[in-house]
Amino acid sequence: MSDYEKMTVAQLKELLKEAGLPVSGKKADLIARLQEGADEPAPAEEEPVEEEPVVEEASEEGADEEESVDDEVDEEDNFESDYEDDDDWDDEDFDEEHVARQKPVLSEELKAALALRAAQKKGTPSFRRTEWFRYKRLSRSGWRKPHGMDNKQRRNFKYRGSLVRIGHGKVNAASGLHPSGFEEVMVHNARDLDQIDAETQAARVGATVGGRKRENIHARADELGIRVLNRRRER
């Protein structure tokens, strides 16, 4: 009793926690609870029960897993063997050879002119009309020459973009040619293809030509070996 009286509340609560007793109440309640716990006989220790090792079940489970793995391997082998000997595959759709597009017959001077034009085009600015960034409808309208008296772009203010001038022109020898080197010829029916030189000219089908007539133009162009620049992909 005297020992408990000298101890603090925190020490008493630790003793109660170790004994598995509640720690609520005042100091007198905690002392009384400890004394009651000391008077009660300690419970007899239970002898540990030895668990029987489960060896057979584990071995049975391992055997089942091995059997399942063997079954999966056999199924995969059977699957591969079924398709190795299958000769019913239809490879006609996969035998489409790549057909190279026609190339123009160009002289060395014309090849040099096309290369020079490509190099010049890299340094050409993108010509945009005044305040194209302000209105969406103007951003799609391309180039328009400014005419206003106070227009900053007309007065060559640097931050307003470049004006179209003759100095931005390209080499005259390659003027009007397709990047591939062909001279473009507008075509609206299959008869127009008869006047095209397949070595230096290429066909461009008109935008108003219908689908059926366009197919006839493509078929006739393939017969004559003429390249169609705006050939549509087959759906």
Check whether residue 229 and residue 183 sit in a common domain. Answer: yes
Longest dimension (CA), the chain: 126
**pLDDT grade, residue 184 (50/70/90)?**
very high
> Mapping DSSP to helix (H, G, I), strand (E, B) and coil, where does residue 167 land?
helix
- Say if residue 193's pLDDT is above 60: yes
- Say if residue 210's pLDDT is above 80: yes
Number of domains in the chain: 3
In tens, the pLDDT along 20-36 reads 888 777 778 888 888 77
Q: So what's the pLDDT on residue 55?
A: 47
Sole residue written with tokens 């034009």? 117
Check whether residue 186 and residue 235 sit in a common domain. Answer: yes
Check whether residue 181 and residue 232 sit in a common domain. Answer: yes
- Say if residue 7's pLDDT is above 50: yes
Check whether residue 202 and residue 167 sit in a common domain. Answer: no
**Residues 63, 64, 67: CA angle, nearest 5 degrees:** 85
* Cα separation values, 66 from 60, 79, 127, Å: 10, 20, 73
Q: So what's the pLDDT on residue 58?
A: 46
In-domain check, residue 164: yes
Check whether residue 148 and residue 185 sit in a common domain. Answer: no
In-domain check, residue 181: yes
| Sequence-distant contacts of 217-223: CB under 8 A, at least 24 apart | 217/187, 217/189, 217/190, 217/193, 219/190, 220/190, 220/193, 221/193
In tens, the pLDDT along 121-175 reads 898 888 999 989 899 898 888 899 999 999 999 999 988 889 999 888 888 889 8
**pLDDT grade, residue 74 (50/70/90)?**
low
Torsion of CA 71, 72, 73, 78, to 10 degrees: 90
**What is the residue type of 78?**
N
In-domain check, residue 7: yes
- Say if residue 77's pLDDT is above 50: yes
In-domain check, residue 80: no
Domain coverage including residue 156: 125-172
In-domain check, residue 70: no
Check whether residue 161 and residue 205 sit in a common domain. Answer: no
Dihedrals phi, psi of 204, to nearest 5 degrees: -130, 115
Check whether residue 203 and residue 227 sit in a common domain. Answer: yes
In-domain check, residue 154: yes
